[in-house]
Structure 1
Amino acid sequence: MTIQLDLARVPFAADLARYGDSPAILTRSGILSYQELADRVTALARRLGPVRRLVALAAANDVDSLVAYLAALESGHPLIVVPADKPSALDAVLSVYDPDVVLRSRAGAAGFDERRPGTAHELHPDLALLLSTSGSTGSPKLVRLSHANVQSNAEAIADYLGIGPGDRAATTLPMSYSYGLSVINSHLLRGAGLVLTEHSVVDPCFWDLFRSAGATSFAAVPYTFELLERVGFAGMDLPGLRYVTQAGGRLDPDTVHSFAELGRRRGWNLFVMYGATEATARMAYLPPDLATTVPQTIGIPVPGGSFRIDPVPGLEHGELVYTGPNVMLGYAEDAGDLAAGRTIGELRTGDLARLHPAGVYEIVGRRSRFVKIVGLRVDLGRIEQILADLGAQSACAGNDAGLVVAVEGDHDTALLGKVLAQDAGLPRASVALHAVDSLPRLSTGKIDYPAVLALGLPASTRPAPVRGAGTAGPVSVRTIFAETLECPDIGDDDTFVSLGGDSLSYVAASVRLEQALGHLPANWHVTPVKDLQPHRRASRTRRLFAPIETSIVLRAAAIVCIISTHVGLFHWQGTAHVLMAVAGYNFARFQVSGERSVRLRRQLSSVARIVVPSVAFIAVAYLVTDHYSPANILLLNAVLGPEEVTTQWHFWFVEVLVYLLVAVTALLAIPWADLAERRYPLLFPLALTGAGLLTRFEVLDPGVPHTAPVLWIFALGWAIARARTAYQRCALSIVAVLTVPGYFQDVPREWTLLLGILLLIWVPVLPVPAGLRRLTAVLASSSLFAYLVHWLVYPPLAGMSPALAVAASLAAGAAYWALTMRATAALGRRKFRIGRRRSSEAADRAVRA
């Protein structure tokens, strides 16, 4: 079949030469002017020939791909664009549509594969461009776009963004994605420049090119903003930046507000946009001045377009319908559809919307994202919003059997599952939460919902697994965690840390786990339950000595030395400061992980587990003795107490530890500090160590008399937990060797502290006689409580027998620890029963509904 080219073509692609020597494309290799670009486009258009043919382009963000794209638009050849890095996408196109010509970018030399001299297809005269519907790479379903669609949407976008010849946009998105193409089209329409790159925003090379090329804008999808936070975008010097655009999915309102405010301070605008490939990219935009007042909305229609809201039976809100010159011709599912003209006149978005009082449109749900569970209609978008309100980034899929939710980052999935089921009115067993490092995404950055569903439906909807030899390990681990943490609902992917474990519960769990598994795996506290498996039976030599983690042994030994020194059984000072290093070490291991709001709750909970029993005991001590004051009860003696050393200074260790924990918790609640810690997990605590050394060497006065400054010791312990290589451990050892001497002006005391720090750095476990393993665990677990109670226990006994006074103090501390753990467990069980009852009541209501 032979079809001569007609005059139907995209005007901006045909008029490139009118901008002459203005820069059109800027790359690391140099600058290509509009005239040079036009010459290349014309040359390739001639090579495509006078017969109108179907062309497929495997596109990358490079000059050859851009020239090929423009040549097809300029000369009227219908073009299918697929990503160059997804061979399956091209394979699907070749199989279903059988293009006449295939163009590829091949390491700087354009590949031209002419599969036939003419065409095998009947091609509608309006057809200009075919794109994937959603960024997927294997579906044969394509969106048919006309020349007028492409031109009109480019004009609308250039209009509301105010694009001019001086603008230069960095290509942060793939050409095969309609959003990425819309950036190219709108800028070439106005004679602006394109900073062509395939680098990601996390790559420093991207920002180097951005600055050197004088870029004024870039496009972002929701995931991009997560990456921008990681790379410290807020602090970057980008003098040429004029605006940032966002589309490709809903961006949570808090992020919209935050980045809009950042832009206002730094002199650039944020344009939140709404669109679809079916509308050639854009349907609406939120004017930047409204981004801080109504950040949850999509704004107003693009120039030339309009919205209406059609009622949907059974739903509170109606469906958003768009009309405009950029609405597609229709879909294509095979080569025969390429001959069709316009089959639709308006676009039914499938989104549920309302008109906001501010005069802008707001998306409130998705018509197609509903499932029905136990008779209850569930909005999957609403599920994601519930979790977002709890500080968890998630993606939800499912069917009538149950929900599958992927939760990004280190979250307590068991707790989130309970809250989610309660809020949604669903039985807990119908919701499966899966913790993932990052949400599954398509190449466009959109959520890959089929991949979410593939994570697995709730266990109650699947056949029961066959139990075998390998199941004993996880069941045993669940029992240990359940009893240690008082958390009855434990899943395969839960970890000790995600279940709320901290340094107080770590000791008991580690000792029991080592007994159950036959060994204690490295990093067991962050290892999923399903991966904690039994080890072969230990040898006889191993049974004589139990390897126990060094931090646990140090805690047990330190409390014995502290109390013995106070009683006068023997004299060994310095171990209290070793405990400060261990406190920083454990803070880093248990309290510095996960999303900021989640770990803030975990940190505050950990502080409460120290403060509550301390305040309770000191209040009793205040009532039964005359040694203490109300400032002791409030843990403020170090600030408000007497300057002379009295009994009121007995609890200095607890007070200073609480001050440190509250201070670092507050610091990490600050976004820039949180970002710095995530980006530089070792350098961050080292910087704190440096700040602490200012008080250590008396450059600054910490304002806490009678206690040596300890921030640097705590921070050094934190850094030790972050060290991963021998080089890093050597560096930390050098810091310790250089800073500990002279600290107390007491050599034996300084050697004790230095030895404790070096053991923490270099020796992961210490051998303890097997018969003392349980005692070591109890002493370490109850060390804080023994420190508290010994001030009341030992004085009446020390005169009779110092050894008896030490033993009684340690026993009383263990008893107070056990009592506190029992009370905490009872409270936890009560909360769980209340939550379970509410979930059950909600489920009953759902069934009745």
Structure 2
Amino acid sequence: MTTAPQVRPTPASLIAHLASFGERRALVTADGTVSYAELARRVEEVAATYAGGRRLVLLTPGNDVDSVVEYVAALAAEQVVLVSSPAAAPGLEQAYAPDVVAGPQGREWRSDESRHALHPDLALLLSTSGSTGSPKLVRLARDGVLANAAAIAETLGIRDTDLVATTLPLHYCYGLSVLHSHLLRGAGLLLTELSVVDECFWDLVREHGVTTIPGVPHTFELLERASFADRDVPSVRALTQAGGRMAPERVRGVAELGQRRGFDLFVMYGATEATARMSVLPPDLALAAPESIGRPLTGTTFELAPVEGLDGLQPGVGELVFHGPNVMMGYAGSPAELAAGRTVDALRTGDLARRRPDGLWEVVGRTSRIAKVCGLRIDLDRVERTLALAGTVAAVADAGDRVVVGVVDGARPVDAEAVRRDAADAAGLAPTGVEVVVLPDLPRLANAKVDHRALAALATVTGTTTSAPDVRREATADDVTALLARLLGRPEATPDDSFVALGGDSLSYVEVSLRLEELLGHLPAGWPTMTATALAASTDERRPGRPRRGVAVETNVALRALAIVTIVGSHANLFTLLGGAHVLLAIVGFNLGRFQLGDRSRTERTRAVLRGLARVVVPSVLVIGAVAAVSRDITWKQAALLTAFTEWSWSEPRWSYWFIEALTLAVLVLAAILAVPAVDRASRRHPFTTPVVLTLVLLPTRYDLVGMPGDHVHRAHGVLWLLTLGWAMSQARTTRHRLVVSGLVLALVPGFFSVGGLDRHVYLTLGLLALTWVPQVRLPALVAPVVGVVAASSLWIYLLHWRVYPWFEVDFPLLATLLSLAVGVAAAVVVRRGGAALAGVRRRVGNR
């Protein structure tokens, strides 16, 4: 057995451990591989920067090389690391005042010397399961972390030739445990943010020879949707499951598939309070005992503690108590408790369990899952299992005076009355003591477990309805997840996903932002990168009863609507106000910086940029191609977006679609620049400085000094600086950043246009300054939806207005403008609804 070291490891010993694996692959990304020798070198460099004493480090890691290096280096330097999700970080930062804050955006020193008294054994702090920023933390000792990693590595048989996919976030204790156990054995980790439903994920699995895929129960649901059973991935030798109970039927099904395909399924049981995992069900027993949690890890034990009042319900069942070196030191609720020593020797799990005759352990419920209805004690987990045996997969919650049963209306219709009767029989209640709620999906916590509290909150006053109530309630993580899944066409979305993580872009951004504003009652700053769970939790920040004047609309949305209206109005001779198209180009760069150029690998960034661009190019080529087929003035050159390469002088109407062409080529050039490894690395380490520097580098094109023929203000090379400047605006986090950007606006806009007069320059200047300084504007409640619809339809308005306004511009310019806007909005609605209908057909076909 691999045992934990008996003395506290020093920075040198941890670094030497990594270096001992030499040139073996340690971290694999879509951009390349980092060997253990290189990892050790980088860890040593970063650890040296922590010299001067122990500090409290708040780390929000991504699944990327820099995050792993920062985390391991902090441990090597004997810092105390508080690992957090991005959503929970602000609350933890406020509660614990860390000395150092680190994450994908870099590291910020808050104090030269530690402001905290830190116990010498303390190494790691993790949020308790399911929390979203609660100050309650689990205190983990260094030796306990190592002991648990060693026991897991031995039980799973991790080899130094293995490569595990990081299908779980590193801020989740299970994901962090995967990192620990594999680095301990010199195995490799494939770092990716991709989901198992992404085809690109499976490309990486095949390309790099991934051997292990870890997951929570929801991951295995996604694997089924992704047709894992039909995929040719011969390198995969193990699937590991933890993070909640998986249905025995699914365990058995995956185990049977493993027997046919040659991989093992390890079902595990654990908790943050036990560092990660407590027991493992050996693969050879998964078919015979799929409902079991297996046996405790080597060097650990289980015992049962009596539970008052339970004997009459389930003889031989008690509360599961865990003993082992990986039991937490205790909880912390404030900075003062970080100095405390061990206050916990055994972990009372809160799970009801029994030991089977074959020596395996089985969890049968929760101590907190005993409801009292009509004077009767009801084991809610037992009701769930009884319903499952009858063929109904449901979640059961305690609503105080009755039991609430949540059932998903998916592949088949739900007979709510039959479910009510079955649940009542299982609970020993009259049918009036059970309420059945039929839902599109069960509410889930951030860790993908069922949110029983949210389910109980769906209960109605009378307890007699059989569908989700219509009463107004606070939005839950499930509500937000369902909204994102529907609007972005991502049915696999989970509460841990954000708009950006689900592939949201500038075209979907407008509708999603307005619908979220409607659902939540407000729109938090930075919402695109917030998880659904964090967005739902943000409703607590509102002040009920406080009057709200109008609806908050993000400035870039309002500017997009204003720009397209001024473009159409100017073309239709209603008024003359030029410059709107160039404002839109800056907004394109702004949204690229927010959505496509986030914390992704270089390859994933490129794919995200190209996917977003395709959503503009494909409909544009189709529309312009259709026009070319019936028009003498528009040719294949315009449809192919090649006007700038074939016609050097401006002529209308052949240059009508210059905006689409310039946008397309400029984005492609920017994507090519970012594909350069050095630029990609610079943009990660210096997310604001990089686009500023690129803007300055592009000054020769801004001033038309590159010697290219034609009107540079309507060509890609001449407007590329607007994209990079917009990107810089999206990364301007401080007043100093905004002043820098504003200085560039005031220096670069004047004199840019040779035609159009002062108003054109003022329009562009004011638009860019508003984008920089004003995050939101409040519009009247009746106006905001109109602005949103126009902004969301701006592409289709631009493409189609050329075919509408010429018919009326001479005599009826207002009608020409309004009809152009209406036709574009109608086309956008038809396309969106058609896409949604097609996605629904695909989902239904996929479920059959």
Report TM bin, short chain: 0.5 to 0.7
8 Å CA contact 1:8, 1:147 repeated in 2: no
Change (3 A) 1:261 1:300: same
Matched with 1:374 is 374
| Counterpart Cα distance in 2 of 1:443 and 1:166 | 32
Which residue identity does 1:65 align to in structure 2?
A: S
- Contact kept in structure 2, 1:8 and 1:126, CA below 8 Å: no
For the 8 Å contact 1:12–1:188, the answer to whether it is kept is no
Partner AA of 1:50 in structure 2:
G
Q: Deviations over 1:107-138 (max 9, x none)?
A: xxxx1111111111000000000111103212
CA deviation after TM superposition for structure 1 residue 726, in Å = 11
Alignment partner, residue 245 of structure 2? 250
The Cα offsets for residues 328-362 of structure 1, whole Å up to 9 and x where unpaired, read as 10001111110001001111111111111211111
Answering whether residue 265 of structure 2 is matched by residue 270 of structure 1, we say yes
Residue 239 (structure 1) aligned with residue 234 (structure 2): yes
Alignment of 1:446-845 (within 5 A): 446-457=449-460, 459-460=462-463
Measured in 2, the distance between the counterparts of 1:311 and 1:226 equals 35
Secondary structure of 2:49's counterpart equals: helix
What do residues 447-471 of structure 1 show as CA deviations (whole Å, max 9, x unaligned)? Answer: 2223222223452499xxx999x9x
2:18 pairs with 1:26: no
- d(CA) in 1 for partners of 2:130, 2:835: 45
**After superposition, where does 1:54-453 map in structure 2 within 5 Å?**
54-84=56-86, 86=87, 89-106=88-105, 111-315=106-310, 316=315, 317-410=317-410, 411-453=414-456
Contact 1:245 1:273 in 2 (8 A): yes
Q: State the SS of the aligned residue for 1:83.
A: coil
Unaligned runs of 5+ in 2: 1-7, 473-832, 842-848
Q: Distance in 1 between matches of 2:196 and 2:12?
A: 31
Match of 1:817 in 2: none
Following TM superposition, by how much is the alpha carbon of 1:369 offset from its aligned partner in structure 2, in angstroms? Answer: 1.1
Superposed displacement of residue 8, structure 1: 5.9
Residue type of the alignment partner of 1:37: L
| 2:443–2:450 Cα contact (<8 Å) kept | yes
Q: Give me the whole-angstrom Cα distance separating, in 2, the residues matched to 1:409 and 1:396.
A: 15
Shift, 1:105, TM fit: 0.3
* d(CA) in 2 for partners of 1:461, 1:452: 15
Does structure 1 retain, via aligned residues, the 8 Å contact 2:249–2:290?
A: yes
Of residues 29, 37, 40, the one that matches 2:39 is 37
CA contact (8 A) 1:140 1:333 kept: yes
**TM-score, normalising length: structure 1:** 0.52
Contact 2:15 2:44 in 1 (8 A): no
Deviation readout 1:375-406 (Å, 9 max, x if unpaired): 01111212222232233332222243222332
- Would you say how many aligned residue pairs link Structure 1 and Structure 2? 463
CA distance in 2 between partners of 1:9 and 1:373 (Å): 56
Is contact 2:399-2:459 (8 Å) kept? no
Residue 72 of structure 1 contacts residue 78 of structure 1 at CA under 8 Å; is this kept in 2?
A: yes
Determine if contact 1:404/1:457 at 8 Å carries over to the other structure: no
8 Å contact 2:435–2:464 — kept in the other structure?
A: no
Runs of 4+ in 1 over 3 A off after TM superposition: 6-14, 724-729
Amino acid at match of 1:335: P
- Provide Cα deviations, 1:142-166, integer angstroms capped at 9, x if missing partner: 1100101110000000001111110
Alpha-carbon distance, 1:215 to partner: 0.5
Tell which deviates more after alignment, 37-46 or 326-335. Answer: 37-46
**Contact 2:61–2:83 under 8 Å retained in 1:** yes
Deviation of 1:413 (Å)? 2.5
Query: Whole-Å Cα distance in 2 between the matches of residues 224 and 436 of structure 1?
Result: 20
Partners of 2:16 and 2:419 in 1: CA distance: 55
Cα distance 1:366–1:13, how it changes in 2: closer, same or farther (>3 A)? farther
Q: CA deviation at 1:312?
A: 2.1
Q: Aligned equivalents of 1:296 and 1:16: distance in 2? A: 38
Counterpart amino acid of 1:338? L
Identity of aligned residues (%): 51
Contact 1:432/1:458 (<8 A) preserved: no
Q: Could you list the per-position Cα deviations for residues 623-657 of structure 1 after superposition, in whole angstroms to 9, with x for gaps in the alignment?
A: xxxxxxxxxxxxxxxxxxxxxxxxxxxxxxxxxxx
Instruction: Please state whether the residue corresponding to 1:48 is helix, strand or coil.
Output: coil
Q: Which amino acid letter does the alignment assign opposite residue 214 of structure 2?
A: A
Q: Is the 8 A contact 2:62 2:104 kept in 1?
A: yes
- Give structure 1 stretches of 5+ with no counterpart: 1-5, 471-723, 733-849
Distance 1:460 1:240, change over 3 A: closer
Question: d(CA) in 2 for partners of 1:429 and 1:10?
Answer: 66
Aligned-partner Cα distance in 2 for 1:361–1:287: 12
Structure 2 distance, partners of 1:172, 1:726, is: 29
CA contact (8 A) 1:404 1:458 kept: no
C-alpha separation between the residues in 1 aligned to 2:300 and 2:189? 26
**Structure whose alpha-carbon radius of gyration is higher:** 1
The whole-number CA distance in structure 1 between the counterparts of 2:378 and 2:403 is: 9
What is the alpha-carbon distance in structure 2 between the residues aligned to residue 9 and residue 418 of structure 1?
Answer: 62
**Cα distance change, pair 73–13 in 1 and its aligned pair in 2 (3 A):** farther
- Deviation of the 1:48 alpha carbon: 2.3
Distance (Å, rounded) in 2 between the aligned partners of 1:285 and 1:13:
30
Corresponding residue number in structure 2 for 1:561: none
In structure 2, C-alpha distance between the alignment counterparts of 1:286 and 1:10, rounded to whole Å: 36
**8 A contact 1:402–1:458 mirrored in 2:** no
Alignment CA distance shift 1:262-1:461 (3 Å): closer
Q: Which whole-Å deviations, capped at 9, do the CAs of 1:175-231 have from their partners, x for residues lacking one?
A: 111111111110000100000111111111111111111100011111112111111
Letter of the structure 2 residue corresponding to residue 415 of structure 1:
A
CA shift for structure 1 position 14:
5.9
Does the CA contact (< 8 Å) of 1:82 and 1:137 recur in 2? no
Alpha-carbon distance in 1 for matches of 2:333, 2:835: 58
The letter for the 2-side match of 1:321 is V
Equivalent in the alignment of 1:51 = 53
Q: What is the alpha-carbon distance in structure 2 between the residues aligned to residue 140 and residue 13 of structure 1?
A: 32
- Paired AA for residue 416 in structure 1: V
Provide the C-alpha distance between the structure 2 equivalents of 1:43 and 1:301, rounded to a whole number of angstroms.
Answer: 38
Question: How far apart, CA to CA, are the structure 2 residues paired with 1:293 and 1:99?
Answer: 49
Q: Distance in 2 between matches of 1:438 and 1:726?
A: 22
Amino acid at match of 2:90: D
Contact 2:435 2:463 in 1 (8 A): no
